[in-house]
Amino acid sequence: MPDPMKIRATVQGDVADVRVLMAHPMETGQRKQGGKVVPLHFIQSITAQLNGKTVFRADISQAISRNPVFAFKVKGAKAGDKITVTWKDNKGESRTDETTVRGGS
């Protein structure tokens, strides 16, 4: 079971700033360990929803850094809204986590 993501969503005015941290090795298929090549293992797609509506979607490659970090902004959000993020990797594993949008300072 993949480790949980850490998602932070803070709203300033009506724009939510969403930052997502994902625990994933993002193996390029080029790294060697103990003389053996570690097979390609990376997140391929990401979907983020605000209260169930898809707002952000990405298809990515193994060139994204290990333990990926993404940030995006959504207009029309307010404190208490739900942000759900799902990733899926090339081995078919996936992980979904959710957070509540917090009011900004």
Q: Does 45 interact with other proteins (rule: CB under 8 A)?
A: yes
Per rule CB under 8 A, is residue 84 in the interface with other proteins? no
Torsion of CA 34, 43, 70, 68, to 10 degrees: -10
Taking CB under 8 A as the rule, does residue 78 contact other proteins? no
12 binds other proteins (CB under 8 A): no
21 binds other proteins, rule: CB under 8 A? yes
Instruction: List the one residue from 13, 35, 36, 63 that touches other proteins (CB under 8 A).
Output: 63
* Among 39, 76, 103, 104, interactor with other proteins by CB under 8 A: 76
In this structure, which amino acid lies at residue 35? G
- Range 50-53, long-range pairs (CB < 8 A, 24+ positions): 50/16, 50/74, 50/77, 50/81, 50/82, 50/83, 51/81, 51/82, 52/82, 52/84
CB 45 within 8 A of CB 54: no
| Interface residue list for other proteins (CB under 8 A) | 3-6, 8, 15, 19-23, 25-26, 28, 31, 33, 38, 44-45, 47, 50, 53-77, 86, 88, 92, 94, 96
